[in-house]
Amino acid sequence: MGVVGRSKGELRRALPEITQLLNELDRIVADMQKAQHDGKGRDFLALDTAFHDALIAASGNPYFTSAYSLIGAKMAALRYPLGMMWSTASRQDRQKAACAVLTSARYTR
């Protein structure tokens, strides 16, 4: 469904498709917020993956989709430690955890 390179007419015709994507992303974000509030880290992570998968699929770009299929699992694995503590940690702790995940990813290549 990619938007880049489409004419105004094509975008108008794609509006229902775009609206459907935005509704899906809104639902996923709402479910993520609920999972975070309820302390359900695994649900939060599954929804986070679903969010990214929906964005990639919506790009309509076979090269982007193919590239993501190669790294998607690794990206989810990098998000796992962060996501498991996300629902119970303070904002400051979440920021520290994000830095730790990024730092460990940088040095474990």
Domain boundaries, the chain: 8-107
Is the alpha carbon torsion for 92, 102, 33, 88 positive or negative? negative
DSSP structure class, residue 89: S
Q: pLDDT tens digits, the chain, 109 residues: what are they?
A: 455 667 888 878 878 888 888 899 999 999 988 988 888 888 888 898 898 899 888 888 899 899 988 888 888 777 776 666 655 556 566 667 666 666 665 444 4
C-beta separation of 30 from 77 below 8 A: no
What is the rounded CA–CA span in Å between residue 35 and residue 84?
11
